[in-house]
Structure 1
Amino acid sequence: MTVASPPVSPTTRALSQDLTADGVLVLTIDVPGEKLNMLGKAMMQELLALLGEIEARTDVRAVVIRSGKADNFIAGADIKDFVAIKSSLEGETLSRQGQSALDRVAALKVPVVAAIHGSCLGGGLETALACRYRIATDHPKTSLGLPEVNLGIIPGAGGTQRLPRLVGLRTGLDLILTGRPLKAMRALRAGVVDEVVPPPVLLEAARRAAVKLADGSLVPGRRGIPLSERLLRPVIFSKARSTVREKTHGHYPAPLAAIDVVEKGTATSLEKGLELEAKAFGELSVSPVSRALVSVFFATQEIKKDAGYPEGTEARQVHKLGVVGAGLMGAGIAAAGAEAGLTVRMKDTTTDALARGLRYAREVFEERLERRSLSRYEFAARMNRISATQDYSGFKRADLVIEAVFEDLALKRKVLAEVEAATRDDCVFASNTSSLPIGEIAKASRRPSRVLGMHFFSPVNKMPL
């Protein structure tokens, strides 16, 4: 199947190219006027036109695909194209168009290397999977995943077929069914990427790999679907279905559809598997569940756009955080602060309360350690950022203090007075109150302009603000 490729205006081009002396064509993706690179219809048309040029050229030995954005490769498909779908046939057609473009990337006679920095999600990862080799940076913002199930759909540009064939059934199913992104080192261990390098050397590493792939000196190993998984196919898919039903109680059709497509698709050819994927994508794209989840997504994005302060306001930098109260809420806030890279000083009145608070923070990070989303070094670094005290020692250098004590006006006013006596005049005091007026808490303050409300939901590490 082919897609029409109308001419693209130079002012709206998302793709630029540069041919190096060693014959490597570096394609840079930079959608004009947008913070994120999104895989939309316009970019697909431009990509198809460019692929036609590359297929006809004889001076290109290899291709590197990189991003011109600061912290994202391709953040996913353009949701605006998705919500315009009116029928399952339109959804299936959109999926087949994406598959067709990436099939041509995979079929190029010259090797293609994906140089990944920042978010590489959904259609972004599907683009990378169509490349022969993938290199990612070790930057914290680099993450790779297929989050489509969170929108009530399945990956529609080859993800359900290429990923399991690359990393195996169990790993592929886990990534597709959870929608959970992987940091670069976890992606390397899973077999999703072939190398992990520091950001400054990404392009050079990609060019070097491209040249080696072109001359045959680099032959990437592929684990694929191992024999053990081929023999245990019925068990693997039965277990996946029972786990999904237990978690969703049958309310979300996308995960079960993904299992069906992976099971049937990996038992046949890639071409047949892609047909199954496109058909399921089309059916899910117009389902009531998907429409509702997309509405939630857009509402969440609108909330994120509202910063709550006038445009151009310069944000206050916070380096040291004080937390008063070491209960579940206070300890959760302390863990969130440490996760954000802040030095955290947590206060409570007894050593037992502080011990419980530190233990809770440790458990938050231990859970991530067990899931391998944190390394032991990262776990230790986060715990080392949190210290405990029964008085206000160490609060003098705090930029921000958050109180998380009982919902009692007199107690909160008392804590505010103590904090003001122990901190600098420019320190900001934030109350985690859920019911008391901030103005009432601040009435006795010496610096009321530095008092504000900052409410967290519990548990802090699981509930988004």
Structure 2
Amino acid sequence: MRNPPVNSLSLEFLTELLISLEKLENDKTFHGIIITSDCPGIFSAGLDLTEMCGRDPEHYAEYWKAVQEMWLRFYLSNLVVIAAINGVSPAGGCLLSLTCDYRVLANNPKYAIGLNETLLGIVAPFWFKDTLVNTIGHRSAERALQLGLLFPPAEALRVGVVDQVVPEDQVQSTARLVMAQWLDIPDHARQLTKTLMRKPTADRLLTERDADIQNFVRFICKDSIQKSLHAYLEKLKQKKG
């Protein structure tokens, strides 16, 4: 992923990401992909708040549909998808990594990962929640979501947000070793098993997709939410300054 400075999931970036995924899925010589970051110290800072602040409702709806599409396409991809997490991974960055089949995280205490939406006054949608529950269990997910927890590597491994923590210089090589192990499994059997495990969760969003977009637009258009997002963006600008 190369969308400097922080790999935020803008509408343009999400569109390009999905086009790339589709090309790889359609090329039968590819069986797996490793997602990693070209931005030092940051896997992905998550959803692009500028797409959610000071725009019109039509834009919010278009953006949210793209976020849903990213989740659906990666979560149900026939390819083996491995996350080589080489930086901090909050919110949407964590969600993207949770769609993967396996997660390798660099052992750097700064590289925290989690769904921290509540810290911004935002509620993680039900499909974010479902993905986390499927990964770490109900009680751990309930606590993590309410408190907006960002887990450092050792804790992320302990609760199961990631599958492996390795020294930073071994993240890519470990991801490749894991990929080889997953590709050893007969492809049709692995794909059908993945669908069996994940389809019920994906179907819930597919059934409620329009309602989820409407809920998001209603929520994000509230004055209080717009003020809160605007204040947060201003704070980020001052930090950069």
Greater RCO between the two (CA within 8 Å, min separation 6)?
2
Supply the AA of the counterpart residue of 2:93: G
Q: Number of paired residues?
A: 228
SS of 1:269's equivalent in the other structure is helix
Other-structure match for 1:151: 120
Cα distance between partner residues in 1 of 2:222 and 2:110: 32
Q: Which has the larger helix fraction?
A: 2
Which digits, 9 at most, give the CA deviation of each residue in 1:142-178, with x for residues without a partner? 1112222233323359422211222122221222222
Report the TM-score, using the length of structure 2 for normalisation.
0.85
Compare CA radii of gyration and give the structure with the larger one: 1
Change (3 A) 1:198 1:275: farther
Cα offset for 1:123? Answer: 1.2
User: Does structure 1 conserve the Cα–Cα contact (< 8 Å) formed by 2:132 and 2:141?
Assistant: yes
SS of 2:35's equivalent in the other structure is strand
Cα distance between partner residues in 2 of 1:171 and 1:276: 27
In the alignment, structure 1 residue 42 sits paired with structure 2 residue 12: yes
SS of 1:185's equivalent in the other structure is helix
Cα offset for 1:269? Answer: 3.3
Change (3 A) 1:200 1:67: same
Supply the AA of the counterpart residue of 1:294: L
Cα offset for 1:195? Answer: 0.7
In the alignment, structure 1 residue 208 sits paired with structure 2 residue 200: no
Supply the AA of the counterpart residue of 1:67: S
Cα distance between partner residues in 2 of 1:198 and 1:47: 27
In the alignment, structure 1 residue 30 sits paired with structure 2 residue 2: yes
Q: Which runs of 5+ in 2 are unaligned?
A: 191-199
In the alignment, structure 1 residue 141 sits paired with structure 2 residue 145: no
Which digits, 9 at most, give the CA deviation of each residue in 1:215-261, with x for residues without a partner? 229x9xxxxxxxxxxxxxxxxxxxxxxxxxxxxxxxxxxxxxxxxxx
Cα distance between partner residues in 1 of 2:127 and 2:220: 16
Other-structure match for 2:197: none
Supply the AA of the counterpart residue of 1:285: I
Change (3 A) 1:40 1:122: same
Supply the AA of the counterpart residue of 2:129: T
User: Does structure 1 conserve the Cα–Cα contact (< 8 Å) formed by 2:98 and 2:132?
Assistant: yes
**RMSD, aligned CA:** 2.4
Give the counterpart of 2:39 among 65, 69, 72. 69
Cα distance between partner residues in 1 of 2:179 and 2:205: 25
Supply the AA of the counterpart residue of 1:30: R
SS of 1:68's equivalent in the other structure is coil
Other-structure match for 1:179: 148
Calculate percent identity across the aligned residue pairs: 25
User: Does structure 2 conserve the Cα–Cα contact (< 8 Å) formed by 1:91 and 1:283?
Assistant: no
Other-structure match for 1:115: 84
Pairs within 5 Å for 1:219-368: 269-272=204-207, 277-306=212-241
User: Does structure 2 conserve the Cα–Cα contact (< 8 Å) formed by 1:153 and 1:281?
Assistant: no
